[in-house]
Structure 1
Amino acid sequence: MSLDALRAALPEYAADIEQNLGLVFTGSSLSEQQLWGTAVAVAVAARNAVVLRELAEDLAPEVVTAAKAAASVMAMNNVYFRAKHMIGSELPARLRMRVVARPGVDKIDFELWCLAVSAVTGCEVCVVAHNDALRAAGVSAEAVNDALRIAAVVHSAAVTLDAEQALARG
């Protein structure tokens, strides 16, 4: 992974983010696949090409594909279920979500990635549902917390680099 390149790209004012990138990727309770898949799913959701390229580098293609699928399906679900919750609708979704049943990676890994993306996009309904599914499957509170920490820091790096790129264009 090119975490060092991503950390080096951050400006001085984002020193906390640079340090946190180092912290969240070391000593995590998540497996390597869970950790890097979470980062890639969040990078997709954050829509930052630099962050996505740096974090997806050297990952197995099936992990990158599944992480992209998690971000893609959650882009739809987070909008729909957040809005449905706001208006109090109880109508059925009638949306296809087959990838959730067969993500191409371990189901728990995919759930972690969906949780992280949902945290970034702010869908309370999805965050709660994915947390509940993970906890029911025996995933520790520490692992859930680690996925949320990764989501927060990767998203922050993406926002910071977007701001720098926008200001550099003058």
Structure 2
Amino acid sequence: MSIESIRDALPAFARDLKLNLTTVLATPELTPAQRWGAALSAAVAARNPELVAAVESDAAQHLDAAGRDAARAAAAIMAMNNVYYRFTHLVEDADYGRMPARLRMNVIGNPGVPHLDFELWSMGVSAINGCGMCMASHARAVTEKGGSKEAVQAVVRIAAVVNAVAVALEEARRTEALPAAA
């Protein structure tokens, strides 16, 4: 399974996604490792096993094992943080924001890849999960670590397309437009 096979299998209603998938994974604003780490973390966050397998297969050409683990770690830690910090923001009670989270987040300090890359991947996952507080924090961290606003936008575009591809694949399965995954 590869991204090309996923792209080729997308049904007609997702033709824009076919084009976008190719385009976002070639964005010049990011290094190949940043692009593929963003795609892998987004695929994990989008929770489609077929898509995760395809992205992981292609990402192996651009990310070593530590990079692939860090991308999965970004999806995992943001799955927790995005829920917690979205709550503290949306509850509209400043007391919750002042309380210690008491959640382990050691991987953020030692992700096993450059901190800039991990911040970018966390940004993409936070966009999928809809945590405004986390998105703002990661956008600031990216620029503080030398990244650009264009890099942030590129990662969010990758996350948006990967998430949309996961939705299209699930809908295609539901309507039996595609055969079941092997």
Tell me the alpha carbon deviations over residues 119-142 of structure 1, each in whole angstroms, 9 at most, x when there is no partner. 000000000000000011121111
Query: Which of 61, 73, 80 is residue 77 of structure 2 equivalent to?
Result: 73
| Contact 2:27-2:154 within 8 A present in 1 as well | no
Query: Which of 126, 137, 142 is residue 150 of structure 2 equivalent to?
Result: 142
How many aligned positions are there?
Answer: 169
TM normalised by structure 1 equals 0.95
Aligned-pair distance for 1:19?
0.3
Query: Which of 156, 159, 170 is residue 167 of structure 2 equivalent to?
Result: 159
Query: Which of 89, 99, 102 is residue 91 of structure 1 equivalent to?
Result: 99
Aligned-pair distance for 1:164?
1.3
Q: Which residue of 2 aligns with 1:46?
A: 46
Q: Which residue of 2 aligns with 1:24?
A: 24
Aligned-pair distance for 1:91?
1.0
Q: Distance in 2 between matches of 1:83 and 1:96?
A: 17
> RMSD between aligned alpha carbons?
1.4
**5+ long unaligned stretches in structure 2:** none
Q: Which residue of 2 aligns with 1:61?
A: 65
Runs of at least 4 residues of structure 1 off by over 4 A? none
Aligned-pair distance for 1:61?
1.6
In the TM superposition, 1:98-109 aligns within 5 A as 98-109=106-117
Q: Which residue of 1 aligns with 2:9?
A: 9
TM normalised by structure 2 equals 0.89
